[in-house]
């Protein structure tokens, strides 16, 4: 239920007039009318009698709830803002690869606008730093994938995307509109360093679909998306990623092909469990709010 529409309902209820409610909310009369109609369609009830304008019994009940909801929302907003302003400092945000697609720059920009007193610094993370940078206090919060299963870490799921493989353009599989796990498990995958955390290794190699068998790896190793792409372009191995990868890394000599039957995977915002830093809490609130707003549509509308 949209809080803006609830604010419009309260204005109409208080003013008992659509025109005055429009002036109070700085909306057009047509927009005020549409907000009320949308709420009525959403709830399946009539909220207002039109001549004269007054609340129905259902409208009275919703107004009581609306006042409580709006008060709680404003209190939450003020609490987060005051907490961060009371503790200026530095926030180090780790980003693995392209992070959580368009959500990453959106969250960073929103935080910088809301809290200019906080020095937000971006820290690039490679594949071997899945959550180690966070646990070793080299970053305060991090955009990573996949979601770690570690009691020392809390995660907020930001995107859920289908999987792709990144392959040399001259390989036969590169021309397929999509592949299946049976097609990709025997590909020579680019090697990861031995100290790469197991969750990321399992993610890259589709380990859950291998019944415990080790992948066939190329001789070339990589710890970053750029190294994966350069190695694939040279025809020396394959990598895997989330679908949004191809929007951020168009690379000559490579192709990104969807894997139709691979389970979809999350990208997450990871923070230390029981983190009390108000800047971290504020960043999480902003990032998850943007994720809810965008929903499955990851792309931001250009300004």
Average pLDDT of 34-62? 91
Q: What is the pTM of this model?
A: 0.69
Residue pair 240/183 in contact by the 8 Å Cβ criterion? no
- pLDDT of 149 reads 87
3-state secondary structure of 241: strand
The CATH code belonging to domain 3-85 is 1.10.10.10
Torsion angles phi and psi, residue 23, rounded to 5 = -65, -40
The model's pLDDT over 156-203, given as tens digits with 9 standing for 90+, comes to: 999 999 999 999 999 999 999 999 999 999 999 999 998 899 899 999
The CATH code belonging to domain 163-263 is 3.40.190.10
CA distances from 128 to 33, 207, 222, 260, 290 (A): 55, 17, 10, 27, 28
The CATH code belonging to domain 90-160+266-294 is 3.40.190.10
Residue pair 21/15 in contact by the 8 Å Cβ criterion? yes
Residue that wins the pLDDT comparison between 44 and 23: 44
Contact partners, residue 148, CB within 8 Å, separation at least 6: 130, 131, 155, 197, 199, 268, 270
- pLDDT of 73 reads 77
Contact partners, residue 211, CB within 8 Å, separation at least 6: none
- pLDDT of 144 reads 96
Q: Tell whether the model's pLDDT for residue 303 goes beyond 50.
A: no
Average pLDDT of 211-227? 90
What single-letter DSSP state applies at residue 95?
Answer: E
Residue pair 288/113 in contact by the 8 Å Cβ criterion? no
- Partnered with residue 142 across adjacent β-strands are 94, 270
Determine which of 62-71, 152-161, 197-206 has the lowest per-residue pLDDT on average: 62-71
- pLDDT of 302 reads 41
CA distances from 172 to 152, 204, 276 (A): 43, 21, 51
CA distances from 280 to 66, 81, 119, 223 (A): 29, 12, 12, 27
| Residue range(s) in the chain whose domain bears CATH number 3.40.190.10 | 90-160+266-294, 163-263
Average pLDDT of 106-124? 95
CA distances from 13 to 6, 44, 112, 267 (A): 10, 19, 37, 43
| Residue range(s) in the chain whose domain bears CATH number 1.10.10.10 | 3-85
Q: Tell whether the model's pLDDT for residue 39 goes beyond 80.
A: yes
What single-letter DSSP state applies at residue 180?
Answer: -
3-state secondary structure of 212: coil
- pLDDT of 84 reads 53
Write the DSSP string, 37-79.
Answer: HHHHHHHTS--EEETTEEE-HHHHHHHHHHHHHHHHHHHHHHH
The angle subtended at Cα 166 by Cα 162 and Cα 168, nearest 5°, is 155
- pLDDT of 88 reads 62
CA distances from 242 to 83, 160, 246, 251 (A): 35, 9, 8, 16
Q: What percent of the chain has pLDDT over 90?
A: 67
């Amino acid at each position: 239920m949209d809080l803006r529409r609830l604010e419009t309902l309260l204005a109409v209820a208080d003013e008992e007039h659509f025109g005055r409610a429009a002036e109070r909310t700085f909306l057009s009369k047509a927009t005020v009318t549409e907000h009320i109609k949308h709420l009525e369609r959403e709830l399946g009830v009539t909220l207002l009698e039109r001549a004269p304008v007054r609340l129905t019994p259902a409208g009275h009940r919703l107004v009581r709830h609306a006042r409580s909801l709006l008060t709680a929302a404003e209190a939450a907003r003020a609490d987060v803002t005051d907490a961060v302003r009371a503790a200026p400092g530095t926030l180090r945000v780790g980003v693995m690869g392209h992070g959580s697609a368009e959500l990453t720059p959106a969250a960073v920009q929103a935080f910088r606008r809301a809290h200019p007193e906080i020095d937000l610094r971006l820290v690039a993370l490679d594949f071997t730093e899945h959550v180690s940078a966070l646990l070793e206090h080299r970053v305060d919060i991090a955009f990573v994938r996949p979601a770690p299963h570690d009691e020392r870490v809390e995660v907020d799921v930001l995107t859920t995307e289908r999987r792709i493989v990144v392959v040399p353009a001259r390989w036969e599989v590169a021309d397929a509109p999509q592949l299946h796990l049976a097609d990709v498990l025997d590909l020579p995958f680019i090697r990861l360093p031995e100290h790469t955390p197991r969750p990321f290794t399992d993610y890259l190699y589709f380990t859950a679909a291998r019944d415990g068998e080790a992948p066939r790896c190329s001789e070339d190793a990589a710890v970053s998306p750029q190294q994966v792409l350069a190695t694939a372009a040279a025809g020396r191995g394959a990598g895997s990623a989330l679908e949004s990868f191809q929007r951020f890394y168009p690379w000559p000599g490579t192709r990104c092909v969807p894997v139709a039957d691979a389970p979809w995977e999350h990208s997450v915002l990871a923070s230390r469990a029981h983190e009390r830093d108000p800047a971290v809490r504020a960043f999480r609130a902003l990032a998850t709010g943007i994720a809810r707003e965008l929903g499955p549509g990851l792309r931001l509308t250009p300004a």
